[in-house]
Amino acid sequence: MAKVQRLISIVLRLTAAAAAAAAAIIMVTSHETTSFFGLEMEAKYSYTPSFIFFVVAFAVACAYSLLVVFVRPGSTASRLVLMSDVIIGMVLTGAVAAAGALSEVGKNGNTHAGWLPICVQVHEYCNRVMGALIAGFVALVVYFLIIMYSLHELAEPLCSCHY
Amino acid sequence: MLTRTASWTSHSSMDLEHGSKKHSAAPTAATSTSTILQLRDRFIALQPIVLRASAILATTVAAAVMGLNTQSYTAVVAIIGTKPLMQTFTAKFSDTPAFVYFVTANAIAGAYNLVVLLMRRLILQRRTPSLVVHMLDMVIMVMLATGAATAASMAYLGKNGNLHTRWNPICDKFGSFCSRGGIALVSSFIGVALMLALNLLSAAANASRPNVVGQ
């Protein structure tokens, strides 16, 4: 039974690493240049600090997931891994929230502040950022599953299933 | 957690009673240590209440300060002939969906904490309601964190603008709107930290009990 537990944990962590890597890579490769009314407009992820934070957070989460696969379950390091899982989950939540707020402004603009939406001009860039956000949500859900599964392995507060 | 420390206190006072036939100074030492232990027990029992009350205060202050945040100024827009044309520019929190979500999340968190604080005796007697409250604590903390992160990124955009998308910063025109929003943001972050401390406390309290569900 311990082998099945370890297998499930490894599969979950590899899925999380893949989703986080996908989110970071899609955001990094979003780049579009367009010109309207003679003005040249370039859209890149590095022009927005929230998107930089998004890329950095998901890259760190991907590397962390790949490293943690090699921790033996039941050792003291596994409790530290659970705590770090919660911390990384909160950081990813903040990153997705910040990137989501900025994407909403980019898509709808803000009439009260005089900010025009940019998605009409750089349509491909907006699609890529949306894809990165979707991958980020998937990675967040998988991280939540990892935390719940680790809690279930370490201390079973609710269920009475015996192993 | 409360029952464990109470049993330790009674055990230690029984020890002190057994060993008190040495000399007459021992009973006074026994009473002083037992009062210190009583004070310590009371301090430990008050911790969740104090944390929850502080979290209520922090989140309600954040919601109120951001909710009442409005600033307007009048400026001359054009001059027609000799008559100047004035227009009023207003900044409210409801201009941005991010701030609306921020106020909603803080209000929900404050109301939830208030309800849990008032119904403490009813809820925290048995194990399952105590675990449900712990789970809801985590959910509300993450909701607060997302609200604070969203409002922080919008506040950064309002303060610095974005050169490449030609979004101008608004904080030079609406100075007190921005500073009040900053105060609300700081208060919300403090509320998130307090709820995190509450979560850790509940986790320690729930984990020290034996697993009675399956028995």
Where along chain B do its domains lie? 47-208
Place of tokens 């349509």: A123
What's the rounded Cα separation, in Å, for the pair B192 and B178?
A: 21
Neighbours of B78 (CB within 10 A): 9
- Is B214 an interface residue toward A (CB < 8 Å)? yes
pLDDT < 70 stretches in chain B: 1-29, 207-215
3-state SS string over B78-114?
A: EEECCEEEEEEEEEEHHHCHHHHHHHHHHHHHHHHHH
Q: ipTM value of the model? A: 0.84
B5 contacts B37 by C-beta, under 8 angstroms: no
- Is B97 an interface residue toward A (CB < 8 Å)? yes
Within a domain: residue A163? Answer: no
The answer to whether the Cβ–Cβ distance between A157 and B154 falls below 8 Å is no
Within a domain: residue A87? Answer: yes
A–B: how many Cβ contacts below 8 A?
Answer: 89
Residue ranges of A 24-63 with Cβ closer than 8 A to chain B: 41-44, 47-50
The angle, 0 to 180 degrees and rounded to 10, between the axes of the packed helices A76-108 and A49-68 is: 150
More confident residue, A105 or B26: A105
Alpha-helical regions (H) of chain B: 2-18, 25-67, 97-118, 120-123, 127-160, 175-207
pLDDT at B13: 41
B171 to chain A: nearest residue by CA?
A: A113
Q: How many structural domains compose chain A?
A: 1
Residue ranges of A 94-113 with Cβ closer than 8 A to chain B: 94-102, 104-106, 110, 112-113
Virtual torsion, Cα B210, B212, B213, B215, nearest 10 deg: 130
Helix (H), strand (E) at residue A151 = helix A123-154
The three-point CA angle B62-B160-B102 to 5° equals 25
Q: Each residue of A117-163: pLDDT tens digit?
A: 888 888 899 999 999 999 999 999 999 999 888 887 776 655 655 44
What's the rounded Cα separation, in Å, for the pair A119 and A103?
A: 9
Residue ranges of B 98-127 with Cβ closer than 8 A to chain A: 98
In angstroms, what CA-CA distances link B197 with A83, B70, B101?
14, 33, 23
Long-range contacts from B174-177, C-beta under 8 angstroms, 24+ separation = B174/B71, B174/B73, B174/B91, B176/B71, B177/B69, B177/B70, B177/B71, B177/B91
The answer to whether the Cβ–Cβ distance between B145 and A156 falls below 8 Å is no
The answer to whether the Cβ–Cβ distance between B145 and A90 falls below 8 Å is yes
The answer to whether the Cβ–Cβ distance between B150 and A159 falls below 8 Å is no
Q: Each residue of B130-172: pLDDT tens digit?
A: 888 888 999 999 999 999 999 999 999 999 988 888 888 988 8
Q: Each residue of B49-69: pLDDT tens digit?
A: 999 999 999 999 999 999 999
**φ/ψ of residue B91, rounded to 5:** -120, 120
Mean pLDDT of chain A: 88
Mapped onto helix, strand or coil, the DSSP state of residue A70 is coil
Neighbours of B47 (CB within 10 A): 14
pTM of the model: 0.81
What's the rounded Cα separation, in Å, for the pair B103 and B168?
A: 24
Q: Chain B closest CA to A141's CA: distance in Å? A: 13
Q: Each residue of A72-96: pLDDT tens digit?
A: 777 788 888 888 998 899 999 999 9
* A151: containing domain: 2-158
